[in-house]
A and B are shown apart, each in its own frame.
Chain A
């Protein structure tokens, strides 16, 4: 899994590399268009197109039936039942393809989230590094070691009730840093990025577990039997700017991929 994720991370890094200095909306638009097209094509080849078309046709027919024979209550009632029946049939025929599409889509969304949902730190920015422990730890057993380029701007804050220790740190120069949290002789690092580019920003490093790793693919997970549950850097959330609108990146992704999907669907005559 680790090798696979590293490979995907590198691939996406490569993809975003030419766009690193540009407005992230361009990269997002490109990926959304390609994703939309790819998903529709995958849907085409993994679904029973005839059955989907039949289901859609029947739904439309019974909707028209309601309109055409509106004075005949028996016909209308039967049409409603048929609409429901064919809607379920339609969903059933779509399910296999949706399942196939769902896994890579969720995976891709996690990757995009890693790059687009947060803004990297700038020099002189302060941020919080949060360490969440599996159990309450004595303060003297926890320490922080900062690399050059990062400096502590306030003493550590212990919150025993939350099993949490927070450090306020200031970035002093550009670069990727790995501050280390030392717990009873063990060392756990967390990646911190100070940059102007659109880049991978793993906000949270969590304990090992396929699903958690799947949705936090930016860094190697923390050891399962270690004292730490999570290490988190608080980056600022990013809002995409499209004209006068500022929105979460998922919204343009949804719009662009639906548009391209619709385009491909229409051109290739794919039933969805």
Chain B
């Protein structure tokens, strides 16, 4: 053993410094063998940091060694890729649902200086949307450059012609094909099967093949993520851990009545001593085949009524929440057994402490740092964003509109949730912008859609869902504030993009939704849809419908189907002339349908899918698309295939603005920092326009047409 070599006398530095100095002294002066190891703490710390440094060094070495070859390859490829490009970078900011009329109004009032600058120096136009004007349809046309007949998305939902039941139109998640059964457990031997139902090829694939880098953030209908030479984070239609499009949980210590919450679950809190216990519902156990019992994460809440706060213990974490406060993202692990778990994240919101304890838990999002399903391309991109920026919402429809609709969250809590999620999205977008100095950076922000859906009633005090004046005063400026914030963000983008081309677009505009039309009720009353003997209503999803006497039915937001023989399981209408005649008859009767209470026109137009769609998937479309008038929309019950008492009803839900109407009434916006020379720009034109800007040959199947710009000569790559 080595002898100490130093006999320096030390003073007595205070506290931590003394501790550190003493420890270092011992470490330096101790026998050599002891230097080899200093506890697992040190072991982990040093191993981890050395591992990081080693990996970094390894990557560096690899990068340095291969750099000349890669540089040469890239140089040649990029020179070729950008040779015909007229721009170095295109940035597309998607503001879902931004309305051109409102934007024009606020610009006129001087409230949107950055967007006004774009209008003055570049372009501001209405952007024609798709038929029907629904986000998944419009964004699918945006990214593929084709009409719905070629991308196969006509609504959020499609219907199974065998069962008449709906399914998510964009993706299907199924259990793995191969598994191993051991006792009660079924071990998956493969990944879950995720089938993309959207057809067509996104424009970033063509760009990637041409050597142009793209960052794509949260564009709707990009789940499951497709491989391409770039990075992508999936958006709308990414499910939560339960496999739904967002199921919140609401907990209360009071007895729940018979009412249930749409879009969420009511779960009682059980009193144990001074605390309450309950659970977060999770997915079905993937290891127990045939078991419908879902996994759960238990938690306990200890309320402090005097302090109007509560302490929550969940999955080894302790949260302190005051009334009306959200937690940060809480990581939860649903344990399936055999050491296998599914990771999710959720927010807790303490709604009430006394006299009853009430708690809201957001839908459990897929944890982006340990994704149970692929939500990005490459797979590690979601992990990268999570590690860099912290956990973030991954659910497609992350802003919990149902919770506000059902009164579980109030307006203030919903707004706070929206802006929390938006802040995450902004951070991702600006990171992507920084990483995409050349190429295309696309990001879609959903907040504009969600807030307008839920706060439109405050623009119109006579709306059936408008609340008392106090609330009206408080929230009257929410939409204006939203537009201002988007304008401020656009300003930051403008400052960052230099000479890049900026497109600010929306997929549709907005109108008030005051009256609902129960289309299935109308069909029933007019003899097109029949109920079983003795049934007064149909129940959800056509429960009591007598299909053998039914000729037409409505499902989804705008779709109307003929019960066609040979296509539907119990089809009654032969294809060909009879179907066409029925469609004609329905069109004639529905176009001009008037609301007897208001005397107003409820349906402006009914579109024949054979005329408005073209492409190999036209057969999957609804036979007719209903174009409602301003202030009208499909009633809530009609969307879910229900026959109700009245054809028309007031919409008293917080969801008070909508766009699922005649597409000509709800165009989106197009802002650009260049002059766009096109009389009637449409969302379907964006893909061909971007390809054209980079000089990539347009595939012949595209329906959109590239816009002309007042740009100078091709950009030198």
Contact = CB atoms under 8 A, between A and B. Distances in A.
Contacts of A214: 26
B53 interface: yes
Given A70-B63, A106-B38, A268-B316, A65 B384 contact: yes
Nearest to B33: A250
Contact of B39 (A73, A105, A262): A105
B45 interface: yes
Nearest to B71: A73
B161 interface: no
Given A90-B49, A91-B45, A100-B19, A106 B63 contact: no
Contacts of A211: 4, 25-26, 29-30
A61 interface: yes
A102 interface: yes
A258 B31 contact: no
Interface string B20-35: 1011111101110110
A22 interface: no
Contacts of B43: 254, 257-258, 261
A105 B38 contact: yes
B26 A109 contact: no
B142 to A, nearest CB: 25
A105 B25 CA distance: 14
B36 interface: yes
Contacts of B31: 110, 113, 215
Interface string B347-361: 000000000000000
A272 B34 contact: no
Nearest to A41: B41
B26 A272 contact: no
B336 to A, nearest CB: 17
Most buried by A among B20, B26, B386: B26
Contacts of B74: 71
Nearest to A110: B34
B319 interface: no
A30 to B, nearest CB: 15
A31 interface: no
B589 interface: no
A159 to B, nearest CB: 18
Contacts of B37: 109, 250, 253-254
Interface string A98-110: 1111110110011
Nearest to B25: A211
A272 B24 contact: no
A84 B55 CA distance: 11
B52 A98 contact: no
Contact of B383 (A64, A94, A260): A64
B380 interface: yes
B250 interface: no
Contact of A102 (B16, B39, B386): B39
Interface residues of B, number: 53
A72 interface: yes
A97 interface: yes
Interface string A165-195: 0000000000000000000000000000000
B435 A69 contact: yes
A196 interface: no
Nearest to B380: A64
Secondary structure of the B side of the interface? helix
Contacts of A106: 26-27, 30, 34, 38
B387 A102 contact: no
A212 B4 contact: yes
Interface string B198-238: 00000000000000010000000000000000010000000
Interface stretch (A12-20, A75-83, A135-143): A75-83
Most buried by A among B4, B31, B41, B55: B41
A66 B56 contact: yes
Contact of A87 (B4, B52, B60, B70): B52
Given A58-B388, A100-B19, A87 B53 contact: yes
A67 B4 CA distance: 46
Interface in A12-63: 35-36, 39-40, 42-43, 56-63
Contact of A258 (B22, B40, B390, B435): B40
A75 B45 contact: no
B338 interface: no
B19 A99 contact: yes
Given A59-B52, A96-B20, A272-B45, A101 B33 contact: no
Given A71-B70, A250-B36, A272-B45, A215 B30 contact: yes
A68 interface: yes
A61 B38 contact: no
Given A58-B388, A68-B378, A109-B34, A96 B42 contact: no
A95 interface: yes
A103 B63 contact: no
A269 interface: yes
A97 B60 contact: no
B48 to A, nearest CB: 7
Contacts of A155: none
Interface in A243-272: 248, 250, 253-254, 257-258, 260-262, 265, 268-269, 272
Contacts of A57: 386-388, 390
B56 A265 contact: no
B36 to A, nearest CB: 6
A136 B388 CA distance: 67
Given A68-B381, A87-B52, A215-B31, A40 B40 contact: yes
Nearest to B49: A87
Given A60-B387, A64-B380, A272-B48, A42 B30 contact: no
Contacts of B42: 98, 101-102, 105
A59 B26 CA distance: 30
B39 A58 contact: no
A195 B4 CA distance: 31
Contacts of A94: 41, 45
Contacts of B60: 80
B496 interface: no
The 10 closest A-B pairs by CB, nearest first: A261-B40, A61-B387, A61-B388, A105-B39, A272-B44, A99-B23, A64-B384, A102-B23, A94-B45, A57-B387
Given A83-B56, A99-B20, A103-B22, 13 more contacts: A39-B39, A39-B40, A59-B52, A60-B52, A61-B384, A71-B74, A72-B437, A94-B41, A94-B45, A98-B41, A105-B38, A113-B33, A258-B43
Interface of A: 35-36, 39-40, 42-43, 56-76, 80, 83-84, 87, 90-91, 94-103, 105-106, 109-110, 113, 117, 204, 209, 211-212, 214-215, 248, 250, 253-254, 257-258, 260-262, 265, 268-269, 272
16 contacts: A43-B44, A64-B381, A64-B384, A64-B387, A65-B435, A66-B56, A71-B213, A72-B435, A87-B52, A90-B52, A106-B30, A117-B33, A204-B1, A215-B1, A215-B31, A272-B48
